[in-house]
Amino acid sequence: MPWKLKQRQQQWLSEERGTVRKSWGGKTRVALAFPNRYAVGMSNLGFQSVYRDLNRMDDVVCERVFYPEPEDLETVRRNPGCLISVESQRSIQDFHLLFFSIPFENDYVHVVEMLSMAGIPPRVQDRGQIFPLAAAGGVAVFLNPEPLSAFLDFFFIGEAEALLPDFLHVWNRIQGESPSRDELLQCLARDVRGIYVPSFYRAGYADDGTLSSMEPLPGLDVPERVEYRRADLSGVEPCRTAVLTPNTEFSDVHLLEIGRGCGRGCRFCAAGYVYRPVRFHDAVKLLEVSTPLLSKSRRLGLVSAAVSDHPEISGLCDALLDRGGVVSFSSLRADNIPPQMLAAIEASQQHAVAIAPEAGSERLRRVINKNLSMDQIISAVERLTERGILQLKLYFMIGLPEETSEDLEAIVDMTKQIKHHVLKITRGRKRLGTITLSIHSFVPKAFTPFQWVGFAGIRELRERSRWIQKALKKVPNVRVHFDLPKWAYIQALLSRGDRRAGLFIEKTALEGVSWSQALRDVPFNPDFWVMRHRGRDERFPWEVIDHGVKREYLWEEYQRALSGRTTSRCRPEEHCTRCGVCALQR
């Protein structure tokens, strides 16, 4: 095993608080892999929660594995089989199960690379009985697992709290029978709702290349569509940081999930659809679990898609401040910042805050159902600035459906107006406010009303970003950051592709060629998946999963978007049946 790799991992361990070390005797051994570097994985609340949940089970030992650091990459690539776990520094092949937690599509290449680095044949069909079963969960694969289907034995479709106990129950039940790999997978696919074994399904294609069918193989007792599993948050502990480390963006901050999902219905947001219905942890439970956290670190980051929508957020902020907590928030909604949240931000001496108008014009915000008025945005900016928060970050997207040059002009106008208000308030003070625009390329995602829409295109997005850059170049105190449209294009390919898109991943991961080369070499035109507007009735590869949101509802939302009509927020308490998800909970 490369000595430097071991030494680096030992250094991480020595600086961590909360690491779990368990003996291996008689336990199911799970290697929990994050397909990116240690610092990225350890900032991910989902990854941390699964580590905690698995290790709380007496009959399981779970250890972490990360994509190698840049300095170690060549060594690990040259020595297949030398990818090791952090805790015991054992080879991945010593584990029974290898679980990937995948929040971002652009890390799919790392998944295939890590299989190869672990000495596991990357393609499922080449794996024999001796290798660990390789599986994946996480929001990227809940949305569309198909591009990874050749490389993983199965997928967890749903939330870990709902799925893991059922999975382990069935796993333990069949271990005594010494099943073959295939028997094991058949059992899991049949008996655990939410387990998807892609090799048990056959995809058919029409002459024009679109998907014509996706059916279980004859004779197999597996569902036609795999049900997404939701957790009942009233019955589980809130997700929170398990291991603190100084080597992450959130060093010494305990992240605490206060709710899941979002009831606002922004039409571009996959999380807003996949995690429906919006659910919250109650404040009593949140305070209970935060007490031991505060004894280790006073800094607490409250996490949710819309933190201020938590019905008890004001009381929660007060109570945490009373207990000596220093509280920060994952996001702020410009139309809902209660005074207690402002007080918490001020008390934590947080000088930077982000708000997300997403689009410059009110018309385009109606299209995407981001129901924010200019007055609400300006009022939020003024309240934040008055409290001494002088670094404002504004999130926007470009390439949205129905976007015109006037919408880009509106981003520039809004920025100038915000700057004007910030400078008016900070004039005469030692420090003036600064505004940073973070502008992302819109990627249409599965299971959203924009799943029928094509990606705007690299050249087009570059032109739009250059235009904004130029328009704001001479405006003082304003910085503009863009993501790279070429990476958004890859993300669109991996979000919207079917099984054949796996060829691009394989080429890049195993032959070491660049993405541009892979896009040229693979005998399929990637624009077919990325750029194409889909017809109303086209079958989508991701529909092998059933999220419970009705297709007709998504189509209707898309039509409402095209005509600029907004949709009111979720009201599950009013027995709403609009999208279909709440009916599944009753």
Q: How far is the CB of 365 from ligand SF4 (least distance, A)?
A: 19
> C-alpha distances in angstroms, 134 versus 35, 42, 250, 313?
13, 21, 29, 40
The answer to whether the beta carbons of residues 102 and 87 sit under 8 Å apart is no
Rg of the chain on CA atoms, in Å? 24
The closest alpha carbon to 89, from 2, 4, 6, belongs to 6
Cβ closest to ligand SF4, residue 295 vs residue 568: 568
Q: How far is the CB of 269 from ligand SF4 (least distance, A)?
A: 13
Cβ closest to ligand SF4, residue 347 vs residue 576: 576
Instruction: Tell me the two tokens of residue 418.
Output: 């915000």
Q: How far is the CB of 576 from ligand SF4 (least distance, A)?
A: 3
Q: How far is the CB of 305 from ligand SF4 (least distance, A)?
A: 13
Cβ closest to ligand SF4, residue 366 vs residue 500: 366
Cβ closest to ligand SF4, residue 516 vs residue 577: 577
Cβ closest to ligand SF4, residue 132 vs residue 263: 263
- C-alpha to C-alpha distance for 233 and 183, rounded to whole angstroms: 33
Q: How far is the CB of 545 from ligand SF4 (least distance, A)?
A: 17
Cβ closest to ligand SF4, residue 279 vs residue 333: 279
Cβ closest to ligand SF4, residue 290 vs residue 448: 448
The answer to whether the beta carbons of residues 226 and 220 sit under 8 Å apart is no
Give me the amino acid identity at 91. S
The closest alpha carbon to 503, from 524, 485, 484, belongs to 524
Q: Which residues contact 314 (CB under 8 A, 6 or more apart)?
A: 338, 339, 340, 341
Cβ closest to ligand SF4, residue 126 vs residue 573: 573
Give me the residues that bind ligand SF4 (CB under 6 A), please. Answer: 263, 276-277, 570-572, 576-579, 581-582
The closest alpha carbon to 377, from 362, 364, 398, 390, belongs to 362
The answer to whether the beta carbons of residues 328 and 253 sit under 8 Å apart is yes
Q: How far is the CB of 162 from ligand SF4 (least distance, A)?
A: 17
Q: How far is the CB of 271 from ligand SF4 (least distance, A)?
A: 13
Q: How far is the CB of 276 from ligand SF4 (least distance, A)?
A: 4
Alpha-helix runs per DSSP H in 16-69: 38-41, 45-55
Cβ closest to ligand SF4, residue 34 vs residue 142: 142
Cβ closest to ligand SF4, residue 252 vs residue 556: 556
Helices 283-296, 313-322: axis angle to 10 degrees equals: 30
- C-alpha to C-alpha distance for 438 and 398, rounded to whole angstroms: 11
- C-alpha to C-alpha distance for 76 and 67, rounded to whole angstroms: 10
Q: How far is the CB of 169 from ligand SF4 (least distance, A)?
A: 29
The answer to whether the beta carbons of residues 391 and 433 sit under 8 Å apart is yes
Q: How far is the CB of 561 from ligand SF4 (least distance, A)?
A: 15
Cβ closest to ligand SF4, residue 172 vs residue 559: 559
Q: How far is the CB of 572 from ligand SF4 (least distance, A)?
A: 4
Q: Which residues contact 454 (CB under 8 A, 6 or more apart)?
A: 444, 530, 531, 532, 533, 534
- C-alpha to C-alpha distance for 72 and 97, rounded to whole angstroms: 24
Cβ closest to ligand SF4, residue 276 vs residue 496: 276
- C-alpha to C-alpha distance for 310 and 493, rounded to whole angstroms: 35
Q: How far is the CB of 582 from ligand SF4 (least distance, A)?
A: 3
Instruction: Tell me the two tokens of residue 508.
Output: 């890049």
Cβ closest to ligand SF4, residue 2 vs residue 572: 572
The closest alpha carbon to 298, from 329, 331, 330, 323, belongs to 323
Q: How far is the CB of 577 from ligand SF4 (least distance, A)?
A: 6
Q: Which residues contact 77 (CB under 8 A, 6 or more apart)?
A: 113, 117
Residue 135 exposed, middle or buried by CB count within 10 Å (0-12, 13-18, 19+)? buried
- C-alpha to C-alpha distance for 433 and 48, rounded to whole angstroms: 35
Alpha-carbon dihedral sign for residues 509, 512, 518, 523: negative
Cβ closest to ligand SF4, residue 132 vs residue 158: 158
Cβ closest to ligand SF4, residue 92 vs residue 581: 581
Q: How far is the CB of 567 from ligand SF4 (least distance, A)?
A: 8
The answer to whether the beta carbons of residues 531 and 457 sit under 8 Å apart is yes
For 30-63, b/e burial (b = at least 16 CB within 10 A) is: bbbbbbbbbbbbbbbbbbbbbbbbbbebeebbbb
The answer to whether the beta carbons of residues 328 and 348 sit under 8 Å apart is yes
Q: How far is the CB of 578 from ligand SF4 (least distance, A)?
A: 4
